[in-house]
């Protein structure tokens, strides 16, 4: 009986334990059904509602953190924003390529500079600016134009309503490092300049891990995952 129990438990662990590199012995969810569920989640309005819930909590956190601070102290505070699926929506690209991705089509899309703002995030951005708190963007995108003012990402941010910031950090194309390492280094650089990051917001856990932020807020993203 004991031997049977051990074998049963072992099989249970093999079947249900999901870690990198392990074989999956059961049928995963159907991809076509998953894509339809994602579209329904987005088009039903639930996606934006869930974003709004996170943004409301972020605004409330900023209010409670800064309400008693004089303006001079607020000017040394900072909020960090991710760009894709945080500040800007790439739904048009995701739908066009059926939630797929390749570098060439992605660069073409970025060059068009027509990603729409995620409205709740834009509200948060404007609220932060109204408090004289500094804003930074840290993106996994690479800079596509040597002239920063002519870079499509900069143009897109301004078209979407994000007009002022201290700096936009682009990921170097010639340096290999994880997203977590890159974004952590950027936040470390911000704090080395004398700013205190009170809030970091993004749609990926890799946007948020690594420290150098008083608080982190995770937006939903059902479309893709960046480790």
Percent pLDDT > 70 in the chain is: 89
Whether pLDDT at 112 is above 50: yes
Place 110 in a pLDDT band, splitting at 50, 70 and 90. very high
Any idea which of 56-60, 68-72, 185-189, 203-207 has the lowest mean pLDDT? 68-72
At the fourth CATH level, which superfamily is domain 48-218?
Answer: HAD superfamily/HAD-like (3.40.50.1000)
| Per-residue model confidence (pLDDT) at position 24 | 60
Tell me the two tokens of residue 82.
């991710």
- State yes or no: pLDDT of 1 exceeds 70: no
Q: What does the pLDDT read at residue 22?
A: 56
Q: What pLDDT digit, counting tens, does each position of 68-84 carry?
A: 999 899 999 999 999 99
The predicted structure's pLDDT at residue 11:
38
Name the one residue in this structure whose structure tokens are 């910031």.
165
Residue 7's pLDDT is what? 36
Q: Which residues contact 97 (CB under 8 A, 6 or more apart)?
A: 105
pTM of the model: 0.87
122-to-17, 55, 73, 87, 210 alpha-carbon distances in Å:
40, 10, 23, 7, 25
**Residue 200 pLDDT greater than 90, yes or no:** yes
Bridge partners, 88 (sequence order): 84, 117
Q: pLDDT tens digits, residue range 121-161?
A: 999 999 999 999 999 999 999 999 999 999 999 999 999 99
The domain limits of the chain are 48-218
- Average pLDDT, integer, range 7-18: 41
State how far the Cα of 119 lies from the Cα of 160, in Å rounded to an integer: 9
The CA-based diameter of the chain, rounded to the nearest angstrom, is 73
């Amino acid at each position: 009986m004991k031997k049977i129990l051990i074998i049963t438990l072992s099989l249970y662990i093999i079947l249900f334990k999901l870690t990198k590199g392990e074989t999956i012995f059961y049928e995963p969810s159907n991809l076509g059904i998953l894509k339809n569920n994602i579209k329904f989640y987005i088009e039903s309005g639930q996606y934006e509602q869930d974003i709004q819930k996170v943004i409301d909590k972020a605004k409330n956190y900023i209010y409670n953190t800064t309400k008693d601070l004089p303006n001079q102290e607020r000017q040394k505070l900072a909020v960090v924003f991710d760009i894709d699926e945080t500040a800007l929506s790439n739904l048009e690209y995701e739908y066009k390529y059926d939630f797929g991705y390749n570098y060439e089509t992605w660069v073409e899309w970025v060059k068009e500079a027509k990603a729409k703002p995620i409205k709740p995030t834009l509200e948060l951005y404007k609220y932060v600016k109204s408090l004289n708190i500094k804003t930074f963007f840290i993106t996994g995108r690479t800079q596509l134009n040597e002239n920063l003012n002519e870079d499509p990402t900069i143009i897109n941010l301004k078209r979407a309503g994000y007009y002022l910031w201290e700096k936009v950090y682009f990921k170097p194309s010639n340096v290999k490092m994880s997203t977590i390492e890159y974004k952590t280094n950027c936040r470390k650089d911000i704090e080395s300049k004398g700013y205190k990051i009170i809030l970091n917001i993004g749609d990926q856990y890799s946007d948020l891990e690594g420290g150098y932020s008083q608080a982190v807020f995770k937006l939903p993203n059902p479309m893709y995952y960046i480790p």
